[in-house]
Amino acid sequence: MEKTSKFLYFVICYVFFIFTDLYCSNLLVDKLLHGYKLSNPVFSLNYVKNTGAAFNILQDARELLIILSMVALVLLALHVIHRLKSISLKSCFFIALLSAGIAGNLHERIVYGYVRDYFQLNFINFPVFNISDIFINIGVIALIILILINKKK
């Protein structure tokens, strides 16, 4: 596939994921703030303002988290741009997913001063999380799997 086409694919995936993340987050938070409740044995919707990162680390370190997020986004974009000739579409897809997750949390930190979390697992003691966090975790896990598969070859 041509480099321009791969880059366009990456950008389209990224825009789709970031739009989906922001739209769905706004919709869910709006419903939760207006009294919507959902709970079952697997998960609950529980709105929480998170001023830190995953697992409550770096609480109230907004500026540091903003800087780290921006650095991560630049490095991911540079990685894709510099490897357009050899990067796979799967890698582009999952880097776009990871980048959109980082950008979603970055957006909320800049706009609101915190990240809006709302998914709470009921079957395990686990921090409340959001769609951006899901995108980040799926992206990281998938990229690790792709790296391990490529190392075997």
Task: Please give the pLDDT value at position 52.
Answer: 87
Q: Would you please indicate which residues are annotated as catalytic (active-site) residues?
A: 117, 133
pLDDT of amino acid 146: 95
Positive or negative, the CA dihedral 49, 50, 56, 60 is negative
pTM value surpassing 0.85:
yes
pLDDT in tens, 21-50: 999 999 999 999 999 999 999 999 999 999
Tell me the per-residue pLDDT of 51-102, one tens digit each, with 9 for 90 and over. Answer: 988 767 788 789 999 999 999 999 999 999 999 989 999 999 999 999 999 9
Backbone φ and ψ of 43, nearest 5°: -150, 165
Sorted by sequence, the CB contacts under 8 Å of residue 37 that are 6+ apart come out as: 45
pLDDT(118) > 90: yes
Best CA proximity match to 138, nearest among 34, 13, 31? 13
Helix (H, G, I), strand (E, B) or coil at 25: helix
Do residues 45 and 39 touch, judged by C-beta distance below 8 A? yes
Kindly tell me if the per-residue pLDDT of 153 is higher than 90: no
pLDDT of residue 108: 97
Which residues lie below 8 Å from residue 98, measured CB to CB, with a gap of 6+?
Answer: 76, 135, 136, 139, 140, 143
pLDDT at 128 over 90: yes
